[in-house]
Amino acid sequence: MASRADRATPSLLDPPTLQTAIVAEVALLRRIDRIYSYRVPPELAERISPGVRVRVPFGRNDKPVDAYCLGVSESEWKSTLKPILEPIDAAPLLSGKMIELGRWLATYYAAPLGRTLDLMIPAAVKRGAGVRHLRVARWIDPAIEIDALKGKQKALARIIREATAPLPVDDACRDADCTGAVAKTLEKKNLIAIESIEAPSAGATR
């Protein structure tokens, strides 16, 4: 006789169930004239919007593929719907009117929509619109003194310790006239904490 836990565990043979959540329509950057639907994970909901490039799993092997988000809505989806992996851009590259124009061009020229949209954006804009990872440093304990440090370590420690907010590691090292290796040494001594944060690239659209 099956236990309660066994009965509650979904079987591979069970039909997919319908759920209500945020779903995005995307056009893949491939020679495919079709629009696909992907589930938007809750933690990405604020970062996925029309005109943003996204990375999605595609095919039997779930190979990561880039695509343009065409629209986002709350609708029913089957439990087998794949989730978006991540946004590529910090802000939309395409406006609603540009997406409409891209749809018209793709239909008129019988071209894949994703590639049509991609051709509408200058390469320099795409390069500058991504999300970059910025390494920042903060002083761990204000009670710790830096008198025992010498040279570059002391100079860098003073800059980071006196900052009112986490500082980009590269900027702090430049002000202290030292290399990143000095920051790494302070981190190993448990004097500073270095972490990576996401920040829009300088060329990102607003």
**Mean pLDDT per segment of 10 residues, for the chain of length 206 residues?**
40 62 93 92 91 93 93 81 90 91 92 93 70 78 83 92 86 89 91 77 44
What is the predicted pLDDT for the residue at 144? 79
| CATH number, residue 150 | 1.10.10
Contact by Cβ (8 Å): 37, 69: no
Residue-number span of the structural domain to which 77 is assigned: 14-128
What is the predicted pLDDT for the residue at 125? 72
Looking at the structure, do residues 43 and 115 belong to the same domain, yes or no?
A: yes
If one counts the domains in the chain, the total is 2
How far CA 161 is from CA of 18, 46, 52, 156, 195, in Å, comes to 53, 33, 38, 8, 16
The CA R_g of the chain, rounded to the nearest whole Å, is 24
- In-domain check, residue 4: no
Domain boundary (81, 113, 128) is at: 128
Count of alpha carbons within 13 Å of 20, Cβ hemisphere only?
Answer: 2
The answer to whether the predicted template modeling score (pTM) of the entire model surpasses 0.85 is no
Looking at the structure, do residues 189 and 146 belong to the same domain, yes or no?
A: yes
- In-domain check, residue 105: yes
Q: With 0-12 CB in 10 A as exposed, 13-18 as middle and 19+ as buried, what is 133?
A: exposed
Q: Which of 58, 134, 57 is nearest to 90 (CA)?
A: 134
The span from the CA of 157 to the CA of 36, in Å, is 51
- In-domain check, residue 53: yes
How far CA 92 is from CA of 48, 57, 59, 112, 203, in Å, comes to 9, 21, 26, 20, 12
Structure tokens at 112: 């894949």
Looking at the structure, do residues 120 and 135 belong to the same domain, yes or no?
A: no
What is the predicted pLDDT for the residue at 164? 81
Domain boundary (74, 109, 128) is at: 128
Looking at the structure, do residues 81 and 112 belong to the same domain, yes or no?
A: yes
- In-domain check, residue 174: yes
| CATH number, residue 79 | 3.40.1440.60
- In-domain check, residue 148: yes
Contact by Cβ (8 Å): 60, 78: no
Residue type, 182: V
- In-domain check, residue 181: yes
Looking at the structure, do residues 114 and 136 belong to the same domain, yes or no?
A: no
What is the predicted pLDDT for the residue at 133? 63
- In-domain check, residue 8: no
- In-domain check, residue 1: no
What is the predicted pLDDT for the residue at 128? 64
pLDDT digit string, tens, across residues 86-95: 998 888 999 9
The span from the CA of 31 to the CA of 29, in Å, is 7
Looking at the structure, do residues 98 and 189 belong to the same domain, yes or no?
A: no
What is the predicted pLDDT for the residue at 35? 95
Looking at the structure, do residues 110 and 153 belong to the same domain, yes or no?
A: no
